[in-house]
């Protein structure tokens, strides 16, 4: 049996507290010496704590993957306490979606900056599917996590926010999954007009669906054509007309996302950038 020792740990930061906790649980008597005063209270009260000896104290902090692993294996109670205090576990493969919802639930205002990105569009089919499947998987992860307590989510987001959350984060991958089924049913209807489809789509619903199908796709094609023209890429106008095929490969990505959500939920599909051979030099804008 290890002899119990009297140990002094200098500094009450993450490293000092982790060391003291590990030694204490190993049977030693540990004293932590911290020169900055500390008043115990609510977790968010730590934002007002002045630690003159640690100038970077108020900067964002995160554990490395190894640190997270050690928390889960060595200090699982500390890990759960951190989550209960408002810590965020970066398990989500679209972390911006999850963080945006969490910040909004805490009362912060989350917006999209009106800016222009110099990043190229993904020009490789396999690379594109990898990227979009990760996005779909992250949307589903975010939706599933926050919908564990739907009433609390509704109170935090309000009715408008709750509906928007479900339509965007839940509805985007759901629509991509349902689309191929509806296309097959549409083709089947025009080929043989089976009665069960007629029963599913009575006249009011049928004509509303046809209007959405025809005019919805026309609007998307039109917007893409206009964007290509205004963005100085007339060579992309013909490709913009192929927008309906975009929904098909979006569905392929959604199916892959659901499969990975069940089999590899934390696997991060890497996106390769810089594939376009004719990318403009950084800072060069498209001609008017």
Reported as a single tens digit per residue, the pLDDT across 192-229 is: 989 898 898 888 998 998 898 899 989 999 999 998 88
Q: Where is pLDDT greater, at 278 or 117?
A: 117
Q: What is the mean pLDDT of residues 86-112?
A: 79
- Percentage of the chain with pLDDT > 90? 33
Looking at residue 84, its pLDDT comes to 76
Q: What is the mean pLDDT of residues 98-125?
A: 81
Looking at residue 210, its pLDDT comes to 87
Confidence band, pLDDT 50/70/90 cuts, at residue 60 = low
Q: Where is pLDDT greater, at 281 or 169?
A: 169
As given in the structure block, the two tokens for residue 51 are: 């630690």
Q: Where is pLDDT greater, at 262 or 267?
A: 262
Confidence band, pLDDT 50/70/90 cuts, at residue 129 = very high
Confidence band, pLDDT 50/70/90 cuts, at residue 252 = very high
Classify residue 13 by its DSSP letter: S
Q: Is the pLDDT of residue 57 over 70?
A: no
The full length of the chain comes to: 288
Average pLDDT for the chain: 83
d(CA 237, CA 229): 7
d(CA 122, CA 183): 26
d(CA 212, CA 222): 15
Looking at residue 46, its pLDDT comes to 65
**pTM above threshold 0.75:** no
d(CA 212, CA 14): 56
Looking at residue 160, its pLDDT comes to 93
Instruction: Give backbone dihedrals phi and psi of 203, rounded to 5 degrees, phi first.
Output: -50, -50
Q: Is the pLDDT of residue 281 over 80?
A: no
d(CA 25, CA 21): 6
Looking at residue 287, its pLDDT comes to 41
**Runs of H (alpha helix) within the chain:** 14-25, 65-74, 76-84, 95-105, 125-146, 150-165, 171-192, 195-200, 203-230, 237-240, 243-263
Looking at residue 64, its pLDDT comes to 66
């Amino acid at each position: 049996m290890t002899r119990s020792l009297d140990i002094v740990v200098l500094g009450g930061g993450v490293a000092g507290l982790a060391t003291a906790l590990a030694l204490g649980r190993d049977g030693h008597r540990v004293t932590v010496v911290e020169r900055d005063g500390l008043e115990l209270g609510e977790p968010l009260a730590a934002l007002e704590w002045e630690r003159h000896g640690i100038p970077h104290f108020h900067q964002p902090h995160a554990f490395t993957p190894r640190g997270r692993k050690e928390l889960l294996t060595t200090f699982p109670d500390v890990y759960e306490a951190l989550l209960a205090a408002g810590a965020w576990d970066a398990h989500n493969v679209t972390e911006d979606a999850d963080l945006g919802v969490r910040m909004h639930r805490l009362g912060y205002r989350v917006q999209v900056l009106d800016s222009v990105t110099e990043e190229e569009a993904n020009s490789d089919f396999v690379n594109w599917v990898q990227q979009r499947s990760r996005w779909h998987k992250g949307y589903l992860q975010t939706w599933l996590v926050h919908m564990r307590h739907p009433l609390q989510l509704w109170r935090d987001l309000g009715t408008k926010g709750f509906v928007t959350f479900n339509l965007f984060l839940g509805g985007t991958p759901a629509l991509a999954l349902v689309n191929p089924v509806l296309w097959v049913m549409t083709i089947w209807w025009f080929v043989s007009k089976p009665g069960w489809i007629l029963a599913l789509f009575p006249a009011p619903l049928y004509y509303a669906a046809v209007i959405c199908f025809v005019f919805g796709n026309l609007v998307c094609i039109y917007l893409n054509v206009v964007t290509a023209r205004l963005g100085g890429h007339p060579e992309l106008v013909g490709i913009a007309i192929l927008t309906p095929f975009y929904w098909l490969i979006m569905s392929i990505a959604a199916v892959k996302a659901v499969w990975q959500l069940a089999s590899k939920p934390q696997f991060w599909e890497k996106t390769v950038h810089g594939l376009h051979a004719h990318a403009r030099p950084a800072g060069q804008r498209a001609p008017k």
